[in-house]
Structure 1
Amino acid sequence: MDRPRFRAAFLHPRYWPLWLGLGLLWLIVQLPYGCLLFLGRFLGAVMYRVSADRRTIAALNLKLCFPALSDAERDRLLRKNLASTGIAFFEMAMSWWWPKPRLARLAHVEGLEHLQQAQRDGQGVILMALHFTTLEIGAALLGQQHTIDGMYREHNNALFDFIQRRGRERHNLDSLAVERDDVRGMLKLLRAGRAIWYAPDQDYGIKQSVFVPLFGIQAATVTATSKFARLGKALVMPFTQERLADGSGYKLVIHPPMSNFPGESEEADCLRINQWVEVALRQCPEQYLWAHRRFKSRPPGEPKLYPKRG
């Protein structure tokens, strides 16, 4: 995909409100990191009050996945989760606009040697990630230290798409954006020995998925990870990230490649993936995107788990 280019059409009056909002956000994120964490938690508290749909979905997911917790414990976890979501709004802007050295000081990276070894071997890598609320800033911090290509879906607003792509790609000019549906292009990059960020932890429907347990619940899990690894002759390296509680930044961990993957069947592979997802989420549950309808697709005969959207 070509690099994003500024167009004169972005100066049209219909884009002025977005320019104004982006300009205000740019000014806010010049504040110290601690202030941005405070503002993010405040935004999360507001979302808890006013974003009923997001709060309801996240609360139901937490009840499904952590039934052993009391109602009070889950409510505290929900509040922390929405606070993390609020912080993510400012982390997005930080990753787009902070000077690179300022941003780099927040990175605490472990396991980079696994990616470096694969690069020396000319081995493609599927960097298997999760939809943590720290997704945007985690990708930026890792991108400063190693070339990572990413799956990409074009935004409906052309100006926002330009700002987003420019902000993401500035950290490593060798990185490429791959259209989410461009399977052939992704496989070509993997066979060329590149590393591609990919997250298989959302419900993309039953067409390309199989049902395997996640927290004891049958969840539609995409089989693409196995297909990409096999056809792209690529390693699968789990990747986790965490916002550190002491305010010192972010812990990014590239785990060793999964052994014997792909395995004997796509179902077995998807089960392994979901088991890894469970372990990762139990370590840092408050920073996951619980507002996603992860169990939206149901096996035949099972009732829907989520209420209709308001």
Structure 2
Amino acid sequence: MSRKPKYFDRRFRWSLLHPKLWSTWLAIAILVGFGLLPAWLRDPIAKQLAKLVKKIAKKPLKVARANLTACFPDKSAAEIEQLVDENVENFVMILLAQSELMVRSTSNLKRRVELHGFEHVEAAKKAGQPVIFIMPHVWGIEYAGLRLNTQLPMVTMAKAHRNELFDWFNNRMRSSQGGNVYMREAGIRALLSELKLGNSFFYLPDEDLGPDKSVFAPFLGTVKATLPVVGRLAMAGNAQVMPVKIGYDQSQRKYQLTVMAPIDPDTMKGKENEALALNQAVEQVINAYPEQYMWFLKVLQTRPPGEPSIYQ
């Protein structure tokens, strides 16, 4: 059995030129074109396209409304709808810009993403500890990962895309600052080995992975099934755990990226405590820019026994 690291293969291969992928090449070319445009020109175009997206993306928007209603029960229907509108707008704006992460320079990345709170990372480095960054599924997550990768060694883990060309393109982008991208099948052991080498990575604790080994804990205005593994992983890898928030500021046409203070390891002792600490960290990140979270994901799919699905 091979013990080679399960990295995504970033090398170009001739199979990517197969005619069945020509439409994907066209889509990538369009995204690259948008990525090369200045933000002052691209953002207004994105706002107009967002109106079209809202008309055709019925199912994702239904999920988004269900999530927002469950997480913010005190908000009116009009306030929920405003959040949905802003969410779609930010999605299109960031999607159209994202190819700049691969086709533009590192100096452009640093100009576009202002980094705050890096003193927490410096303190961890001085103590000889890598960092597990906690960030839920927000639209600007690729910007956050690559901006931090310009400052310290990072790896990441991703699920393979069904389209092999998009898979290649996305992982070329994610590794453009030198970090390797692990396949999901590599598992926690691969990440632990990276921590022991001094490499840091992002952990996304908001994904709903089903009831097995998950713990229900309060989350915004509801409860959420959370997988408590970060505390043990951090302990085994001698790492600190730090929440990270990022939001796109349309007025400045820049991203504000903030590394927050590390989570006290004592608050993550025991599965229930860890689930609570992780959910509280995710709440902090979401509440900073609630219009920029991926609300279309079914993050509340697993419900407590006897409670119906919110997505029906």
Q: Of 293, 296, 299, which aligns to 1:291?
A: 296
SS in 2 for 1:105: helix
Corresponding residue of 1:30: 36
Q: Percent identity, please.
A: 30
Q: Would you say 1:178 and 2:182 are equivalent positions?
A: yes
Corresponding residue of 1:128: 134
Which residue identity lines up with residue 275 of structure 1 in the other structure? Q
| Displacement of 1:101 | 2.3
1:4-41 Cα deviation digits (max 9, x unpaired): 11111112212211112211222232221122222222
Distance in structure 1 (CA, Å) of the matches to 2:267 and 2:192: 15
Which residue identity lines up with residue 65 of structure 1 in the other structure? C
Residues 230, 262 of structure 1: 8 Å contact kept:
no
Distance in structure 1 (CA, Å) of the matches to 2:114 and 2:130: 24
Q: Where do residues 176-215 of structure 1 align in structure 2 (5 Å cutoff)?
A: 176-181=180-185, 182-215=187-220
Corresponding residue of 1:274: 279
Distance in structure 2 (CA, Å) of the matches to 1:283 and 1:166: 29
Residues 126, 234 of structure 1: 8 Å contact kept:
yes
Q: Of 233, 253, 271, which aligns to 1:228?
A: 233
Greater than 4 Å deviation, 4+ residue runs: none
Distance in structure 1 (CA, Å) of the matches to 2:267 and 2:180: 25
Which residue identity lines up with residue 166 of structure 2 in the other structure? F
Residues 149, 176 of structure 1: 8 Å contact kept:
yes
Corresponding residue of 1:238: 243
Distance in structure 1 (CA, Å) of the matches to 2:106 and 2:20: 31
Residues 63, 298 of structure 2: 8 Å contact kept:
yes
User: How many residues matched?
Assistant: 305
Distance in structure 2 (CA, Å) of the matches to 1:245 and 1:81: 13
Call closer, same or farther: CA 1:74–1:2 in 2, change over 3 Å.
closer
Which residue identity lines up with residue 308 of structure 2 in the other structure? P
Q: Of 148, 151, 161, which aligns to 1:145?
A: 151
SS in 2 for 1:240: strand
Distance in structure 1 (CA, Å) of the matches to 2:183 and 2:168: 15
Q: Structure 2-normalised TM-score?
A: 0.91
Residues 9, 168 of structure 2: 8 Å contact kept:
no
SS in 2 for 1:49: helix
Corresponding residue of 1:300: 305
Distance in structure 2 (CA, Å) of the matches to 1:234 and 1:103: 27
Bigger shift: residues 112-121 or 251-260: 112-121
Corresponding residue of 2:4: none
Q: Would you say 1:46 and 2:52 are equivalent positions?
A: yes
Q: Would you say 1:61 and 2:67 are equivalent positions?
A: yes
Stretches of structure 1 that go unaligned for 5 or more consecutive residues are none
Q: Structure 1-normalised TM-score?
A: 0.92
SS in 1 for 2:156: strand
Cα RMSD, aligned residues only: 1.8
Distance in structure 1 (CA, Å) of the matches to 2:266 and 2:240: 8
SS in 2 for 1:155: coil
Residues 91, 137 of structure 1: 8 Å contact kept:
no
Q: Would you say 1:109 and 2:115 are equivalent positions?
A: yes
Residues 83, 291 of structure 2: 8 Å contact kept:
yes
Corresponding residue of 1:70: 76
Call closer, same or farther: CA 1:146–1:299 in 2, change over 3 Å.
same
| Displacement of 1:43 | 2.5
SS in 2 for 1:29: helix
| Displacement of 1:127 | 0.8
Distance in structure 1 (CA, Å) of the matches to 2:46 and 2:152: 28
Distance in structure 2 (CA, Å) of the matches to 1:248 and 1:12: 37
Q: Of 149, 162, 169, which aligns to 1:163?
A: 169
| Displacement of 1:261 | 4.3
Q: Where do residues 15-26 of structure 1 align in structure 2 (5 Å cutoff)?
A: 15-26=21-32
Stretches of structure 2 that go unaligned for 5 or more consecutive residues are 1-6
